[in-house]
Amino acid sequence: MPLNVLIGTYNLNQRLLNQELTSWLFPLSTSSPSLLEKPDIIAIGFQEFNEYPNAFLNINSETRIKHCEGMIERAIYNCTRERYYQVTRSIFVGLALVIYVRDELINQIKDVEVEQIGVGPMWIGNKGAIVVRLIIFIDSSRENVNSVCFVCAHLAPHSKNVLKRNKDFQSIIQRLSTPYKKKYDTMYDNDYVFFFGDLNYRIELNYLKNPSLTISRLMNLLNTNQHQLVLPFDQLNIERKRGRVFNGFQEGEVKFSPTYKYYVDTFDSFNFSKRIPGWYHKPVSALFTINFIPPNIKTTNVTINIKIDKWRVVKKVIGNIFTRIAGLLWWLFGTRRGIKLFFVLITSILISWYFINLLLIKYRGKS
């Protein structure tokens, strides 16, 4: 049973989503409606979808995700004229993942599992992943199932932190374990896995110490839409060739320029002044076709040995606690409202202490 899967990933840079999404989610429909192949499953991931430190404290997250959902659902209906059901949505600090399925598929969903993994300092959720696994019946007998796993991630930033991004990926797959009847112990035990998000891999100018790729040449290639000549210098491609990350994964053909860093409110003007560009979001918008397979039939010869992190539950608890602590401290000392509240509290405490001392002095004098 073939299914079409549409995946989109969007870093909102802590801004409220104000872009019409039809041309982004369904680019073919704007050029030729007849080319549009309606997806059966739609997975949309967001990064930095809420302001910091509000995201750490889950302030306004519900309001923002409802706003995003409204715009997504409007775009879906405008292009498909069909009803899609939201099977799950998950919010984890600055990450959000929303998944929809077509009307006729909703009764085939047997189960939905959600996991959240923080890979920031002390396992806080400023960087990490949301993982959703759909368990879907594959035949009319409703006895056999396949699992489709979606991983929306935000990995470590900055060009030099390639090894940290690799470590973040390894940490995610080692700490992911939401087994369905002990059949799917790791991410690789699923029948299908889609990994996407703001992966933060950049263009490596010094790869193989090649003197031909300088900043000026890079600017010229990107500004003239010759991004195919830049792909060999993509850090993610380099690390995959070295076998360090995403073993067993396949990537579709990249037909778009790097997705970062543009000047704000532009889509074709790279900002080279602060950061090296990169294909942060792969896939940005991709339509996959998957064929559900009978149980016990292996579809790949790749053997991946994953060492499950036995401390994953402890790390999750610690990470959640420190996420809230970090958010509270950031809010108190890093925002105007927090600083004002802090000084009001301190002033109130000092004034109260002053009057309490006066009362104690008077009481002692009378006694």
Tell me: do 65 and 142 sit in the same domain. yes
Tokens of 92: 């984890």
Tell me: do 152 and 295 sit in the same domain. yes
Counts of helices then strands in the chain (DSSP H, E) = 9, 9
β-strands 95-102, 41-47 pairing: antiparallel
Residue 94 lies in a domain: yes
Kindly provide the residue ranges of all beta strands, DSSP E only, lying in the chain, ordered along the sequence: 2-11, 41-47, 84-92, 95-102, 109-118, 128-137, 145-154, 192-198, 285-291
Residue 211 lies in a domain: no
Tens-of-pLDDT digits for all 367 residues of the chain?
A: 688 899 999 999 899 988 888 888 887 655 444 446 789 999 999 999 999 999 999 999 999 999 999 999 999 998 888 889 999 999 999 999 999 999 989 999 999 999 999 999 999 999 999 999 999 988 877 888 888 999 999 999 988 899 999 999 999 999 986 555 555 567 888 888 899 999 999 888 776 565 567 777 777 777 777 878 888 888 998 898 898 998 888 887 777 777 666 666 666 666 666 666 666 555 433 455 556 666 555 555 455 677 888 899 999 999 999 999 999 999 888 887 778 777 788 888 888 887 788 787 777 766 5
Predicted local confidence at residue 334, as pLDDT: 83
Tell me: do 292 and 358 sit in the same domain. no
Tell me: do 295 and 357 sit in the same domain. no
First to last CA, the chain: 90
Phi, psi of 74 (to 5 degrees): -65, -40
Tell me: do 306 and 353 sit in the same domain. no
DSSP string spanning 136-205? EE-STTS--EEEEEEEEEE---STT-HHHHHHHHHHHHHH----STTS--SGGGSSEEEEEEE----B-T
Tell me: do 358 and 290 sit in the same domain. no
Residue 210 lies in a domain: no
Residue 33 lies in a domain: yes
Tell me: do 40 and 111 sit in the same domain. yes
Residue 120 lies in a domain: yes
Which of the listed residues 270, 296, 311 is the one where a domain comes to its end?
311
The pTM of this model reads: 0.85
Tell me: do 307 and 341 sit in the same domain. no
Structural domain boundaries, residue 40: 2-200+280-311
Cis peptide bond prior to 53, omega within 30° of 0: yes
Predicted local confidence at residue 248, as pLDDT: 82
Tell me: do 126 and 72 sit in the same domain. yes
Phi, psi of 360 (to 5 degrees): -65, -40
Tell me: do 341 and 296 sit in the same domain. no
Query: Which residue shows structure tokens 């890093």?
Result: 334
Tokens of 343: 């000084």
Which of the listed residues 311, 327, 356 is the one where a domain comes to its end?
311
Residue 155 lies in a domain: yes
What CATH number should be reported for the domain holding residue 154? 3.60.10.10
Predicted local confidence at residue 220, as pLDDT: 77
Overall domain count for the chain = 2
Tell me: do 103 and 61 sit in the same domain. yes
Predicted local confidence at residue 251, as pLDDT: 81
Residue 362 lies in a domain: yes
Residue 89 lies in a domain: yes
